[in-house]
Amino acid sequence: MPPDPIIVPDTALEERFLAATGPGGQNVNKVATAVQLRCDTAMLALPEAVAERLKTLAGSRMNARGEIILTARAHRSQEANRIAARARLAELLARAQHRDPPRRKTRPSRAAKAKRVDAKVQRKAVKAGRARPDLD
């Protein structure tokens, strides 16, 4: 069963609108359509393990104060960029909740070891056959 989604209170979010770059003609020059979304992770009350995975996943997008900063500028409208930034934040939080199962140590079987050694011996013979003949 997947874990419950993390509820992000509006007080933990701060949006700032910036002038975007790229195609869009005069719209880009006139309207601040890009969105910079800041999420204060301290206000999310995350479990310790989830907070550590979030910090790792966020990487350079998380600053020293524990804020995740996402910038969305792919769309021509503010609203579409807001939706895109919030969707990216939700996806990042969902990935942080996912825990990989612990790895179990395994050992190769005796047959697997023998097969590997036989393959090495066979490869050695192929390479030895390519060597220059000894003229002694």
Domains of the chain in sequence order: 10-97 (3.30.160.20)
Instruction: Return the closest-CA partner of residue 18 out of 98, 97, 78.
Output: 78
Instruction: Count Cβ atoms below 10 Å from residue 31 Cβ, excluding itself.
Output: 15
Is the whole model's pTM more than 0.85, yes or no? no
Per-residue pLDDT of the chain (136 residues; tens, 9 = 90+): 556 777 787 888 899 988 877 666 677 677 888 899 999 988 888 889 989 999 999 999 999 998 999 999 888 888 999 999 999 999 999 999 888 899 999 999 999 999 999 999 999 999 999 998 888 7
- Residue at 122: amino acid letter: Q
Q: How far apart are CA 51 and CA 55, in angstroms?
A: 6
Place of tokens 């023998």: 114
